[in-house]
Amino acid sequence: MNTLINMNPWSFLEDVLNANSRAFKSIRARAAGRFPPVNVMMDDNAIFVDVELPGKSASEIELSLEPQSVTIADKPAEGECTWRRRLELPFRVNADKASAKFTNGILRIELPKADEAARHRIAISD
């Protein structure tokens, strides 16, 4: 089977420039303070994420959960979102038991461990 390889050097350069543009856009957004501060805490049963969002309302925030990550983004009325924050989690979470509460500009997300990720004790027989 023959494979066609793109030998256009400009195509490679465009890919590099596009990747750099995305990276610097993210850095500029962080420097401008557009990413909200996030605190992450964990115990044996869950991860807790606190996001500082002064001046925002719950309807302006969008949360999405994957088996091992959570994404927090603004949800403007028009246009593309101005920031998005994705947190990789050290274990799978139980999406059915996940919860979020918005109080006084603080978004608190609770992400319980999935049953298969929870720590189990094993009895040792003689």
**What band does 70 get if pLDDT is binned at 50, 70 and 90?**
very high
More confident residue, 24 or 43: 43
Instruction: Indicate the pTM of the whole model.
Output: 0.65
Q: Is 70 exposed, middle or buried (0-12, 13-18, 19+ CB in 10 A)?
A: buried
CATH class of 37-112: mainly beta
pLDDT band at 107 (very low <50, low <70, confident <90, very high): very high
Share of the chain above pLDDT 90, in %: 30
CA distance 105 to 102: 7
Q: How far apart are CA 58 and CA 66, in angstroms?
A: 20
Rounded mean pLDDT of 88-105? 91
